[in-house]
Amino acid sequence: MVEDQAREAAVLQWLRLNVARAAAPDVKALVLLFQANPGLEHPPGHAERHGFEAFNAELQRLTATLKKPVLLAHGDFHRYLAGTPWPDQPWVQRVQTWGSPVLGGVRVRLVEGGASPGLRFELDSVIGIGP
């Protein structure tokens, strides 16, 4: 329990620090990379969000105030998944990358257009070697 609390505190500190850095006027966008799928597609209290409630709540709160393009990139379920996790924050996009046994990647570009602030991430799934 103590280890879980310490890990959660460190993750929340990491999240706050990086969003604060991204708030600088010369920063156009933020990309956050993490391993696990925090269950963004599920409502609060869902079993798939177990252990991620504080992270998800803080992430959603911070990105709401940042209002710059944010890409949440993670692995975990070994299949490609992309979209906007929160309808009220169209500037936040999420991508879950490929994993074993299918090897692939995602090509990411920041391009003009899209919801406010006028920039968005363009994502292209690239499948490599697999069964």
Digitized pLDDT (tens) for each residue of the chain, 131 residues in all:
788 899 999 999 999 999 999 999 999 999 999 888 899 888 999 999 998 999 999 999 999 999 899 999 998 777 888 999 999 999 999 999 877 777 778 889 999 886 667 788 998 888 765 55
Residue of 48, 9, 96, 127 lying closest to 1 (CA atoms):
9
Is the CB of residue 121 less than 8 Å from the CB of residue 71?
A: yes
Residue of 64, 94, 97 lying closest to 82 (CA atoms):
94
Rg (C-alpha) for the chain, rounded Å, is 15
Locate the domains of the chain by residue range.
2-127
Rounded to two decimals, the pTM is: 0.88
Report helix angle 53-66 to 2-22, nearest 10.
10
